[in-house]
Amino acid sequence: MTLTKRITLAAILAGLAIGGCAGPSLSDIAKDQAQADKIRAKAEAERLSRRQSAMSDEIDATPKWATQVPMNDGVGFYAVGQGDSDSLRVSMDRARLNGEFGLAERLSGAVSGLAQQRDKDGLMGRQEDYKRLIDNLVAQVPVVGYEVVRQESKPIQGRFHSYVLVRLPFDSINRVLHEQEAKFHDAEVKKDFDALSERIDKLKEEAKARTAPDMVGPLTPPALDDKI
């Protein structure tokens, strides 16, 4: 080996030795990792604490009437909608839209039971057509006939939170049914409309009986604040 190569090799070995001595030990690495884990755990605990506080504030600020959806009464279906936003108007719009979805779901569940029963009894040969009729009814009624019974907005954690109690009267449902029925001349389709109308009337009578004074106390909604 030449003298130059020997000098170069010696320099490399010396550098490696110096680097090895200057680098952190396994013990130091473990301590640093433990400290980093501790910092992350503390940050996560603080984040969860802030989240818990925000949730508690929202629960405390939510109106009691917005936490329980009233049962159907002799007037119609009820649903509660909620929405939040940096804008008061947007939060109110979102709450109403959420309330509309709630009404649609309750109406759909109520009238779809009739479709299932008719199919089970072998009384309906056009199941898909009948379901489309129900879907169309559900889509139309909230647009033309629901009422805002009560609404309220509050600032929570720097955002507006709006709540709304909406009602879909049985009279509005039947009005839309008759309007749609007038567009058809097929006798079988009219039978489907009649069946739906009978179903709505039955639901109305059942709700009246359930809220009769001699049974369960009747629901007395607050005075209407608005009407769509």
Percent of the chain exceeding pLDDT 70 equals 71
- When pLDDT is averaged across residues 187-208 and rounded to a whole number, the result is 79
Greater pLDDT, 35 or 1: 35
- When pLDDT is averaged across residues 212-223 and rounded to a whole number, the result is 46
Structure tokens at 140: 């139309």
Confidence of residue 133 (pLDDT cuts 50, 70, 90): confident
Mean pLDDT of the chain: 76
The predicted pLDDT at position 150 comes to 93
**30 pLDDT more than 60:** yes
Structure tokens at 225: 């604040």
The predicted pLDDT at position 149 comes to 93
Contact 189, 96 (CB under 8 A): no
**68 pLDDT more than 80:** yes
Residue 163's nearest CA partner among 52, 56, 77, 67 is: 67
The predicted pLDDT at position 79 comes to 92
Report the distance separating Cα 218 and Cα 209, nearest Å. 10
Contact 138, 104 (CB under 8 A): yes
pLDDT in tens, 138-194: 777 766 678 999 999 999 888 999 999 999 998 888 888 887 777 777 777 777 777
The predicted pLDDT at position 219 comes to 44
The predicted pLDDT at position 126 comes to 56
Greater pLDDT, 213 or 83: 83
Greater pLDDT, 121 or 208: 208
- The sign one gets for the Cα dihedral 37, 42, 47, 51 is positive
The predicted pLDDT at position 78 comes to 92
Predicted TM-score (pTM) of the model is: 0.63
> Per DSSP, what are the bridge partners of residue 151?
164
Structure tokens at 95: 């709450």
Report the distance separating Cα 177 and Cα 204, nearest Å. 15
pLDDT in tens, 33-60: 888 888 888 888 888 877 776 677 777 7
